[in-house]
Amino acid sequence: MSTPVITVDTHKKVDECMNIMTDSHLRHLPVVEDGKLIGLLSIGDLVKEAIADQADLIKQLEQYIRGE
């Protein structure tokens, strides 16, 4: 546990959260809104989302190349 507790709000992007977790050596990141805990992100959650985002981008680029 680190002090002070590092948190993010719902407006942070996946890559920003990953950077915070990497720089701070965290495996979990609390998500807070209006001073209340609304969720907890794990590094696995963020990696899965980043992979899904990249897969979507690859699909869009392939469709663009094919002229679809």
Q: What sign results for the dihedral spanned by CA atoms 42, 9, 17, 29? A: negative
Q: What is the pLDDT of residue 46?
A: 95
Q: Structure tokens of 51?
A: 């992979």
End-to-end alpha carbon distance in the chain: 50
Model confidence over 25-48: pLDDT tens digits? Answer: 999 999 999 999 999 999 999 999
Ranges of each domain in the chain? 14-66
Q: Which fold has domain 14-66?
A: CBS-domain (3.10.580)
> What pTM was computed for the model?
0.77
Question: 3-state DSSP call for residue 38?
Answer: strand
Compute how many other C-beta atoms are within 10 angstroms of the C-beta atom of residue 48: 12
User: How much is the pLDDT for 2?
Assistant: 66
Split at pLDDT 50, 70, 90, the class of 68 is: confident
Residue 46: strand, helix, or coil? helix
Summary mean pLDDT of the chain: 93
